[in-house]
Structure 1
Amino acid sequence: MADKEQTPAEIAADKAKEQAEQDALPYKWTQTIGDADVTFSVPGNLKSRDLVVDIKKTSISAGIKGQEPIIKGDFPHAVQVDDSTWTLTSSPDGTKTVEIHLDKVNKLEWWAHVVTTAPSIDVTRIVPDNSKLSDLDGETRGMVEKMMYDQRQKEMGLPSSDEQKKLEMLERFKAQHPEMDFSKAKLQ
């Protein structure tokens, strides 16, 4: 049976249920396409030595020493352990906040939950922030700029950057070999 289109009321009800499930968690979490961040509050008299935060490639356990962990379970996808961190910061209300930064291995995947035992969110409804070309590393930025240039050229009926390189190479070769007949030459 095919899924039918949801009405706006059904979508709103699903979102409200999802939000209630997320609000009930003992921690808060957010994500970008490349990482996830988890936060939870602890009493203001605690120090980092009073906490246990264990981040592994596929799981996490974090909370106050001697108590049940506030978050514990398997990640839906692997993280880079060496690039994942945690800090303890003071909050204005006298409590402290544990902030855990998780660096995703796959930077092209949204997580439905931080740990697989938690209620999931509908990742198809995520609207990512527009990233800027300046946010990308040099190699990725170069690839994106080339793709954008080639797309503009295609829309105008002009040769792509690769086709331009081939034409330039052919012109140089022709200039170096005027004795040859290029009238039947074709670019592939």
Structure 2
Amino acid sequence: MSELTTTKPYDDLSKEERDAVDAKERERERQEQAALPYSWTQDLATVTVTVPLPKGTRGKDLNVVIQKTTLKVQLKSSPEPILDGELFNEIAKDDSSWTIEDGVLSIELEKVSAHIQSHQWWPHVLTHHPKIDTTKIQPENSKLSDLDGETRGMVEKMMFDNKQKAMGKPTSDELKKMEMLEKFKKAHPEMDFSNVS
């Protein structure tokens, strides 16, 4: 977590103080992201990178290399790449693609996942670029409500777990295990649980 201007832990701040800290962090993030040579958005399955190109740039003028763990975009006429680096997480290379429309390169990176539960929010596209605070991501409510009950439950669980992890607190699965262990201890007071963590 980034340094706060107050000495109190975030959890101990009043709602007004938290709002002020959050607003300051959002502005810092916005400025860092605006300084990048691209913009990006994400949903649970996809990261979309948008790169403004010089007027008249066509596909044949570009070198776009999408690998499982790296991404490179370079104008063939330029010695320096527009972006080049290691991706935050693995992608499904064969399901990822790029297009150019109205002078803008759009890259769709498919997050690797066997199941929606293992999807995660990316704090940044390339690992050497500034991060965003993924605990503050709020999926659009309309989209969340469009999901079926089971999927929505998994998304809400993932959001809760991401927030808990960021604060160094137990995830929902860890909380469930702790609760089960407590119930078992109460049901079996004759057993010694001193070595159980």
Q: Is the structural similarity TM-score above 0.5? A: yes
Alignment of 1:1-188 (within 5 A): 3-5=9-11, 6=13, 7=17, 8-67=19-78, 68-90=80-102, 96-106=103-113, 107=116, 108-129=119-140, 130-131=143-144, 132-133=146-147, 144=150
1:126 is displaced (CA, Å) by: 0.1
* In structure 1, distance between residues paired with 2:130 and 2:88: 12
Counting matched residue pairs gives 133
Equivalent residue of 2:112, what SS?
Answer: coil
* In structure 2, distance between residues paired with 1:124 and 1:12: 14
Equivalent residue of 2:10, what SS?
Answer: coil
Q: Which runs of 5+ in 2 are unaligned?
A: 1-6, 154-197
Q: Which has the higher helix share?
A: 2
* In structure 2, distance between residues paired with 1:122 and 1:65: 34
User: Structure 1: which amino acid aligns with 2:94?
Assistant: D
User: Structure 2: which amino acid aligns with 1:98?
Assistant: L
1:47 is displaced (CA, Å) by: 1.5
What do residues 28-81 of structure 1 show as CA deviations (whole Å, max 9, x unaligned)? Answer: 100001110001111222221110100000010012114211111111110000
Equivalent residue of 2:150, what SS?
Answer: helix
1:2 is displaced (CA, Å) by: 8.5
TM-score (norm 1): 0.65
TM-score (norm 2): 0.62
Larger Rg over CA atoms: 1
Q: Which runs of 5+ in 1 are unaligned?
A: 91-95, 134-140, 148-188
* In structure 1, distance between residues paired with 2:25 and 2:42: 20
1:144 is displaced (CA, Å) by: 2.4
* In structure 2, distance between residues paired with 1:21 and 1:101: 22
* In structure 1, distance between residues paired with 2:50 and 2:97: 12
Equivalent residue of 1:16, what SS?
Answer: helix
* In structure 2, distance between residues paired with 1:38 and 1:117: 16
What do residues 107-156 of structure 1 show as CA deviations (whole Å, max 9, x unaligned)? Answer: 520000000000000000000123324xxxxxxx6x829x9xxxxxxxxx
